[in-house]
Amino acid sequence: MPTLQSQLKTISKSLTSLSKQVERISKQVDKLQPAKKAAAKSKAAPARKTAAKKAAAAKGPTVLDTVFDAIKRTKNGATVAQLKQRTKLDARQLSNALYKLSKKGKVYAKSRGLYVKK
């Protein structure tokens, strides 16, 4: 019987310490909830960015457009060297544009370095 009482006392102490920990955690969660509301407000901001991107696209042709137009004007496709010369882009920009155009399915590589419109 005495062992049972001692075990009950230890369990009650453990439960009280756990309840205190739960209270501390709930207070911390309450402090974080206003931060979540601020994060929700910041999620509305990307809508403005997309509008800005659309406005920027309306201003003039993009890099993808210029590369695609240069490829479209050729009969048998265009090499990377020809595209560099026609578009006056550096190698990195041209490589990225060709990669994106091929992923979109607008162009394909007929052979290494030769791109043709689909």
Give the mean pLDDT of the chain. Answer: 84
Is the model's pTM score more than 0.75?
no
Rounded Cα distance, 101 and 67, in Å: 9
Nearest to 87 by CA among 112, 115, 53: 115
Q: Which of 2-6, 85-89, 90-94, 102-106 has the weakest average pLDDT?
A: 2-6
- Domain assignment present for residue 2? The answer is no
- Domain assignment present for residue 82? The answer is yes
Domain that holds residue 101: 61-117
- Domain assignment present for residue 7? The answer is no
Nearest to 118 by CA among 107, 109, 110: 107
* pLDDT score recorded for residue 28: 85
Q: Is there a single domain that holds both residue 28 and residue 66? A: no
Inform me whether the pLDDT recorded for 65 exceeds 90.
yes
Rounded Cα distance, 93 and 64, in Å: 9
Q: Is there a single domain that holds both residue 95 and residue 75? A: yes
Q: Which of 11-25, 36-50, 77-91, 98-112 has the weakest average pLDDT?
A: 36-50
Nearest to 68 by CA among 77, 60, 57, 59: 77
Domain count within the chain: 2
- Domain assignment present for residue 41? The answer is yes
